[in-house]
Amino acid sequence: MLTLKRTTCLGWCPAYTLTITADGTVKFTPDGAFAQRGDGPMPSLPLTGKITTGQLAKLLSEVKNVNFFSLHEHYDLAGKSESSSKCPKSWTDSPSAITRIVANGRRKTVSHYLGCRGTKTLSDLMKFEDRIDKIAGTDQWTSRFGWNAGSVVDLFLSTNELAGSSSNNQISVKTVATDPDNDVLTYNYIVSGGKIIGNGAEVIWDLSNTLVGTYTITAGVDDGCGVCGKTVTKTVIIK
């Protein structure tokens, strides 16, 4: 039996538990705020499907290729006073993927915070988790939930490239968002550098005196449930 649980994040992250058993049966259960529908009645959960013998064999091959039973049990952020070779680079506000496999008398659970990056093992583990979803056909179910949350449609920046560090590096930001229930939206911005000036759909991203490098901005909206809907992230390069 294989179980993949994906958790929520600060933004639009489908949260669910996916279970695949030895006979190819697949069960999908949405979790938390993601388990919402804006159209029609709530279906009976879990939703179920089936994968073929060939797909099951491919899944077992993926387990072997990633050396799952040799992995560490945790790939998480290190504490403030320590560094971790298992997580050399970290991004905040990311979800986690928790994979549990029971096979041939062996049991193992690997908890992977997806903000941990920087090693081949982490990259291979993320690809493995994505392959589980692809083989199981998770997209057919995730598209049915989270519909009534306020979501960002697009994010527009006045430029995506700045020439060198400057005391006057500012970018105009415009967020286009929608809410099926016409709720009042609060706009939320997360930046990896600089600061946001202003509030609402149109703000200024101030990157004055920021060092040369690549920076991201993520826009989300809160319709009263937190940032539950889709977010959009854009990148800016300071050369």
State the DSSP H helix or E strand holding residue 64, giving kind and residue range, or none if neither.
Answer: helix 53-65
All CATH 3.30.1560.10 domain ranges of the chain, comma separated, are 2-142
Q: Averaged over 219-238, what is the pLDDT?
A: 85
All CATH 2.60.40.10 domain ranges of the chain, comma separated, are 151-238
pLDDT band, very low/low/confident/very high, at 167 (cuts 50, 70, 90): confident
As a CATH number, domain 151-238 is: 2.60.40.10
Q: Looking at domain 2-142, which CATH architecture does it have?
A: 2-Layer Sandwich (3.30)
Residue recorded with tokens 């990896």: 192
Q: What is the pLDDT of residue 81?
A: 37
Mention every residue, 6+ apart, whose C-beta is less than 8 A from residue 100: 1, 2, 3, 5, 107, 108, 109, 110
Above 50 in pLDDT, residue 82? no
Whether 41 and 169 have beta carbons less than 8 Å apart is answered as no
Q: What is the pLDDT of residue 21?
A: 96
The SS3 of residue 129 is helix
